[in-house]
């Protein structure tokens, strides 16, 4: 079940939304809803990325293990070409 939310758009933004919705054959409601969904997805992905980065940083602090960029880049190239490749060995700082 959906709920109604009212937003106030500045006149210039409202005109842009209306024009773009019209050009794409959609309603302004559909256009705004898609924009909100995309931004919510973006914000969720950013928060997940930050959480992963913080966890990785904490792991580095605990173990002292890091990977040299050259080794990771070579590993990624092998993965792209061969589909599988052994992980690079960690380096202790």
Q: How far apart are CA 75 and CA 69, in angstroms?
A: 10
Residue 63 pLDDT greater than 70, yes or no:
yes
Instruction: Encode 48-70: b = buried (16+ Cβ within 10 Å), e = exposed.
Output: eeeeeeeeeeeeeeeeeeeeeee
Instruction: Please provide the average confidence, as pLDDT, over all residues in the chain.
Output: 95
Mean pLDDT of 4-23: 96
- The number of residues in the chain equals 93
Per-residue tokens: 2: 């959906």
Q: How many CB atoms lie within 10 A of CB 87?
A: 10
Q: Which two tokens stand for residue 79?
A: 């993965």
pLDDT at position 49, please? 98
Domain ranges of the chain: 11-92
In degrees and rounded to multiples of 5, residue 25 shows phi and psi of 75, 30
pLDDT surpassing 70 at residue 93: no
Rounded distance, CA 55 to CA 59, Å?
6
For residue 92, name the pLDDT band (cuts at 50, 70, 90): confident
- The per-residue pLDDT for 30 is 96
The band of 60, judged by pLDDT with boundaries at 50, 70 and 90, is very high
């Amino acid at each position: 079940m959906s709920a109604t939310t009212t937003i106030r758009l500045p006149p210039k933004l409202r005109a842009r939304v209306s024009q773009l919705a019209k050009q794409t054959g959609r309603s302004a409601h559909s256009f705004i809803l898609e924009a909100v969904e995309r931004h919510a997805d973006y914000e969720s992905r950013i928060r997940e990325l930050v959480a992963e980065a913080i966890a990785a940083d904490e792991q580095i602090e605990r173990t002292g293990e890091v990977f040299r960029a050259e080794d990771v880049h070579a590993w990624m190239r092998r993965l792209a070409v061969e589909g599988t490749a052994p992980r690079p060995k960690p380096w202790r700082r």
